[in-house]
Every structure is written in structure tokens, then in C-alpha cells.
Amino acid sequence: MRVLMVASECYPLAKSGGLADVVGALPPALAALGHTVLVCLPGYPSVFAALDAAAEIDSYPELYGGPARVLRGRAAGLDVAVVDAPHLFDRPGHPYVGPDGDEWPDNGFRFAALAVVARELALGRVADLAVDVVHAHDWQAGLVPAYLALDSRPRPATVMTIHNLSFQGQMPAAWLGRLGLPAHAFGADGVEYYGGVGFLKAGLYYADQLTTVSPSYAREIQGSLWGMGMEGLLSARAHDLTGIVNGIDTTVWNPAADPLVSPPYDADTLERRGEHKAHLQAQFGLDVDPERPLFAIISRLAWQKGTDLLVEALDGAVGAGGQMLILGSGDPGMEERCAGAAAVYPGRVATWFGYNEAFAHRIQAGADGIVVASRFEPCGLTQLYGLRYGCVPVVAGTGGLVDTVTDADTDPDHGTGFVFAAGDALALRRAFARVAEAYADRERWRAIQRRGMAQDLGWTRAAQAYVEVYERAGASRHGR
């Protein structure tokens, strides 16, 4: 199958979140299954810095305020089509946010330009480039399925993936014409969303098939609690919506060959984790004590991530004899609360604020439990890294967390971690006690760790599931 992937981020070329990881990892996994993938990306400076062997394949005299070219080449091992439109994308730093910390006011036009280019690539404007399915990611690519469905030319199938429903790309109704959308599309059965033009809404309405990043999140977004206004449309399209859990890069996240983790270890040499734990305890000012279960957080500090719940339940971790190490960045108020809690429990609770990739690896290698207390979590990566590293996940029962971790008390034969009721600090406090009890039984603990480490977390399974969705999209193409 020939896939055109359209996204505003792609690891390692441009990243603001998990979307980038998927767009960077899924194409090679699809290629390994025999499919060809072209990734259509905005020409940010970071993309050009990595672009190799590029040739111009298309051009536009005017595309939202200036001329544009489309360059095809290689970047980060991927076949890419890059929209070279300096007036839209030659801006350093964050893909969506300017130096003042605000979103760029022309984001709607920037990503409409990306969608126009993707539409033309999909409809055969460039000779020798055939496309069977267009895979659009998040609101920034939401217009792609709409443009294709509203075009009278024969088109490939379309798939729209939601990575996080809370980002929706809502634009003013007055932009309809400038976005190249016909007046008849401005309705509930079209691109209209709460009186404006909804980019994500457009994609979710017009795409042949929809996916999100876990089966549980796929169910949750059909309800009013986490549907964020889209629940009506999503439940009406429930039969077209599939949840596919993200894979992880098992070469980057591999305790047996991680350059940041020395000595390396695997499921048969788990005792080596003790060295990593002692090192962490010393480095972060915790009492060096192998007997205390060391819990860790590696997270954005934010409401979604339940940082406030964690602070509320922290005394439960300490009361159960444990320690807590918090690596995080984000909301300054949340940082202050975490720091305040650490001051109450010297030697037992430690914090490090900022983003630090090396610490993230070393914490997964040395901590006993990785805590993810999210209120909602489309997929979540932290618990997957924990499983791979024998750092037992202690997770809220929501979204991708509940799809990837099995509670060891509820299902002793298959348990890989501990699951507590999402949004409930008391349940988290109880979970700390449950973990401490399991940790004290070393044989049981090792079994939990080993089951997690044996779980298949790579991209092949996910890529196979996407191929099935692409096939369904082809079959249902004329349905809308």
C-alpha cells in the first residue's frame, strides 16, 4: 500500500508531544511490512537542517501569503515531502508557539497550506506519485480529509488519527472562504463546530476511518466526560473508530543496551537494578536504602497528569515505607506544591524540575515503581518504558494506561503493575500500600517485573493494526 502521512510534527525533526513519536516511528514499521510511506511535513528550519537529497516536485506561486515549493527528499531516514513556504514555516523553535509564548495567529493558514499541498499530492498533481491512503494526524492535518472529500476528483482513502482530543484547531467562521472551503460545508454535517471552522471536527467528519491511540480512549471520547464536545460525532461514528496503542522505540528504550544505563541488565539480571537505585537515591538526596520501595514520576506537571492528586497522596507513599522521586516540568504552581511536599519529607521525597532525557532513562532503570496518575491519558508512554525497564507501573485506570497495565492484585497470574481509580487520591494512597506489600515479597515482585518486560511493546503490532484500518478505509471510501 502507498501511504501519504500528513503531520505537523515528526520525531526527531520537530516535536512538541507524542504525535511526533508516532509519525517518526510508524513509517519505518509500515515499511518493514512492505508498504511505502511518504511523510508530508511543514518546512520548519529544523526539518531543512536534516533534509538530504531534496528535489523540487511542485510549486505554488501563492500559498497563504507567499510562494511555496514542495521538496521531496530524505530526512531522519524517512521519505519526506516538505512544504517550503518561508512566510509560514521559517520560524525557529516550537512548531505552534511564538517567542511570546502565544500560538502563532496564522496557525489556521499555516496548516491549511500543509493540507492543500497534501491534497494535491494525494490527487496526483505530481507525476509518478500514487497514493492509496492518506493518513492525517491531529487538528493540524484535519482539513486534509475534508479537502479530499469535497473535491470532485477521484481520491484515495482517508484516515484521521486523534492523539489528544483536547487540541481541536478552532478557527473563525469568517475564514471559511480563505480556507478554500465551500459554503455548503459550513454545517453540523461538515466543518462547522460551535460556530467556527473546526479543523479536527472537519477531519473527524470527513475521514473514511478514524483512529485514536488506545481502545479505552476510543471509548472514553464517545462520552461527555472526555469527549470534549466531539462525543456526539464520535459516538455516531463508533463503527469507524479504532483504538491502536502506540509502540515504543525498543532500540532507544532497552535496558540491555541503553548507553545511559550502566551496567546494562535484562529480565535475568534484575538484581543489577539495585546499583541504579542506590545511585539515584544518593544523587537526588534520598536515604540510600534498598528495602524502601522507590516510586518515581517522570511527567509534565499538569492537571491532566494528576500532579495535584499525587501531592495529595504523597503521605501514603511515605507512610507505606516508600520514597518518591519527582522529575517534572510544567505548571509553576504544581512545581511549588511538589517542592513543598519534598521539604516535609527530607530523605524520603526528592524533586528535580526541568526536562532531562538522561534522568528519565536512569530513573526507569533504578526506581521500583513508575507512577502515572493521569485524569485522562490517550495512550501514555511513561508506563510502557516502565514495563520495558522492570520499573513496575502504578497507573490510573484510564485510557491507554488501563489497556497496557494489568493489576497484580486483581489478576495475580498476569499482573504487570498496579491500577487505581483515576482522579481519586485515596485510591492512589491505597495503591502505594498495595505496592509496598508486593515489593516486600521479592519473588512475587520479580514475577511482576518479568511479566511486564516480556510484554510486546514494539511498533510491528501497531503497524499491522493501522494496515487493517487503511484497508477498511479503502472499502468504505465512497460511504461519505
CA distance 43 to 67: 13
Residue 37 touches ligand ADP, criterion: CB under 6 A = no
* Binds ligand ADP by CB under 6 A, chosen from 382, 398, 406, 449: 382
Residue 255 touches ligand ADP, criterion: CB under 6 A = no
Residue type, 469: V
Residue 391's alpha-carbon distances to 2, 146, 349, 395, 449, in angstroms, are 39, 43, 18, 12, 7
* Binds ligand ADP by CB under 6 A, chosen from 238, 355, 410, 440: 355
Residue 17 touches ligand ADP, criterion: CB under 6 A = yes
User: Is the Cα dihedral 309, 310, 315, 319 positive or negative?
Assistant: positive
* Binds ligand ADP by CB under 6 A, chosen from 88, 159, 381, 463: 381
Q: Report the residue number, 148 or 342, with the smaller CB distance to ligand ADP.
A: 342
* Binds ligand ADP by CB under 6 A, chosen from 235, 329, 460, 476: 329
The one segment of 6-14, 70-78, 321-329, 465-473 that binds ligand ADP by CB under 6 A: 321-329
CB of 400 to ligand ADP, least distance (A): 8
Q: Report the residue number, 357 or 456, with the smaller CB distance to ligand ADP.
A: 357
Q: Report the residue number, 24 or 328, with the smaller CB distance to ligand ADP.
A: 328
Could you tell me if 236 and 189 are in contact, meaning their C-beta atoms sit under 8 angstroms apart? no
Could you tell me if 13 and 50 are in contact, meaning their C-beta atoms sit under 8 angstroms apart? yes
Pick from 169, 177, 234, 198: nearest CA to 8: 169
The one segment of 192-200, 297-305, 310-318, 401-409 that binds ligand ADP by CB under 6 A: 297-305
CB of 336 to ligand ADP, least distance (A): 16
E-strand ranges in 262-417 read 294-301, 323-330, 349-353, 369-372, 392-396
Could you tell me if 460 and 247 are in contact, meaning their C-beta atoms sit under 8 angstroms apart? yes
Residue 327 touches ligand ADP, criterion: CB under 6 A = yes
Per-residue DSSP letters for 75-144?
Answer: ETTEEEEEEE-HHHH---SSSSB-TTSSBPTTHHHHHHHHHHHHHHHHTT-STT---SEEEEETGGGTHH
Residue 300 touches ligand ADP, criterion: CB under 6 A = yes
The one segment of 77-85, 154-162, 237-245, 349-357 that binds ligand ADP by CB under 6 A: 349-357
Residue 18 touches ligand ADP, criterion: CB under 6 A = yes
Q: Report the residue number, 17 or 28, with the smaller CB distance to ligand ADP.
A: 17
Strands 170-171 and 196-198: antiparallel
Residue 163's alpha-carbon distances to 61, 71, 144, 279, 305, in angstroms, are 33, 27, 16, 36, 15
CB of 94 to ligand ADP, least distance (A): 15
The one segment of 28-36, 72-80, 266-274, 375-383 that binds ligand ADP by CB under 6 A: 375-383
Q: What is the residue whose three cell numbers read 498495595?
A: 434
Contacts of 283 (CB under 8 A, 6+ apart): none
Q: Report the residue number, 24 or 380, with the smaller CB distance to ligand ADP.
A: 380
Give strand pairing partners of 79: 74
CB of 87 to ligand ADP, least distance (A): 30
Q: Report the residue number, 319 or 333, with the smaller CB distance to ligand ADP.
A: 333
Residues 227, 230, 236, 241, Cα dihedral to 10°: -70
Residue 362's alpha-carbon distances to 263, 391, 434, 453, in angstroms, are 11, 11, 24, 16
Residue 357 touches ligand ADP, criterion: CB under 6 A = yes
CB of 327 to ligand ADP, least distance (A): 5
**What 8-state DSSP symbol labels residue 185?**
G
Size of the site for ligand ADP (CB under 6 A): 15
The one segment of 113-121, 236-244, 256-264, 296-304 that binds ligand ADP by CB under 6 A: 296-304
Residues that bind ligand ADP (CB under 6 A): 17-18, 298-300, 327-329, 355-357, 360, 380-382
